[in-house]
Amino acid sequence: KLFIKDLCFEKVPVRIYQPKVPSASQWRGVMFFHGGGWVFGSLESHEKLCRSIARESESVVVSVGYRLAPEHKYPAAYEDCLNATIHFMKNTEHYGVDPARIIICGDSAGGNLAAAVSQTLAGRSDLPRLRAQILIYPGLQALDFNLPSYQQNQRVPLLFRECAAFFVLQYLNGDAPNLEEVLEGSHMPIDIKLNYRKWVSPDNIPEKFKVRGYKPHVLLDCTTEVYETVKRFCEPNLCPLLAEDAIVQQLPESFILTCEYDVLRDDGLLYKKRLEDNGVRVTWYHLEDGFHGIINSFNSGWLSFSSGKRGLDNIVNFLKGL
């Protein structure tokens, strides 16, 4: 039911999925950034998911094969996703896509990249305005690895708390010598943490998400040496939750999917609150029985999970409404 083609946009490998059914109007265009902690993942790893989205929502899906860490450090992945997206936005007529209906989508680290690219494009007057962003259990900050969801789900597969911190350090620096400091929260000066507390704080997480074994974490200070190695964690292109209100206010309609048994759950909840506080329309879907990575398992034979299919159906329904 699909035409599938491998191309390069601005030297970035992409795979395009186009529905074969004729359409009376132009298609929706979905830019898709795969997950994998900025270290793993590929066009192949998310092939089934992209096929499903293209087929079920009758959209053109462009999956982006961005460069991976640790060989390619931040901002390589972000720049690849941004450049591929801009190329697509400028050439929609070649793919029968309506420039007013371009959606950016990603899961996990791909959700991080989707949020960062959306923020960068929000202020661009020379390009069409994005129609929406779809963030599937995104990782959006690296200031606090002791939020309730990090404590509650620290040993829940497929993403352990230590791995989440390790991956973001690999993306930032290509190695992870300060893993312990990042996990305990002694990688950022207290004044910086207090400055961002209005956005990154357990106080902004609804109480019902704290009942499952959460203990407030003591604020620790940090040494200058450690801070020097991770200070770019304050850049919104790396941690989109830290973008200024003026940027957040310009973001398009958003869909956020979170899972209860996921260390990244609270990143999604905090971003949902930020978007809503700034007048952005948010559709939020929470999988009470979901865990990190579940959307990619919707069609894995004996390893399939019905809630993964439920999550995917909700993403498709959201797309169909755009």
pLDDT single digits (tens) 98-113 = 999 999 999 999 999 9
CATH of the domain at 30: 3.40.50.1820
Alpha-carbon distance of 72 to 174, in angstroms, equals 7
Catalytic annotation, pick one of 52, 108, 186, 307 = 108
Q: Residues 209-260: pLDDT tens digits?
A: 999 989 999 889 999 999 999 999 999 999 999 999 999 999 999 999 999 9
114, part of any domain? yes
217 is catalytic: no
Q: Is residue 163 part of a domain?
A: no
**Full domain range(s) for residue 108:** 2-141+237-321
Assign 300 a pLDDT band (cuts: 50, 70, 90).
Answer: low
Residue 207 belongs to some domain of the structure: no
Look at residue 224 and tell me if it is in a domain: no
Calpha distance 281→94 (Å, rounded): 30
How many domains does the chain divide into? 1
Cα separation, 201 vs 231, whole angstroms: 19
Using the predicted structure, report yes or no on whether residue 44 has a pLDDT greater than 70: yes
Q: Is the pLDDT of residue 298 over 90?
A: no
Q: Which positions ≥6 away from 149 have C-beta within 8 Å?
A: 209, 262, 263, 264, 265, 266, 267, 269
Task: Classify strands 97-107 and 27-33 as parallel, antiparallel or unpaired.
Answer: parallel
Q: Is 292 a catalytic residue?
A: yes
Q: Which secondary structure element, helix H or strand E, spans residue 187, and what is its range? A: none
Res. 297: pLDDT tops 90: no
Q: Which two tokens stand for residue 131?
A: 């129609």
Q: Report the distance separating Cα 172 and Cα 153, nearest Å.
A: 24
pLDDT at residue number 292: 96
Structural domain contains residue 187? no
DSSP 8-state secondary structure symbol assigned to residue 16: E
Per-residue confidence (pLDDT) for residue 23, from 0 to 100:
84
Residue 227 lies in a domain: no
Cβ contact 55:2 at 8 Å: yes
Active site residue 52: no
Exposure of 277 in the CB half-sphere (CA atoms within 13 A): 15
Marked catalytic residue, from 80, 107, 144, 262: 262
pLDDT the model gives residue 305: 83
Question: Quick one: pLDDT at residue 213?
Answer: 87
Q: What is the mean pLDDT of residues 158-162?
A: 96
Residue 177 domain-assigned? no
User: 69 lies in a domain?
Assistant: yes
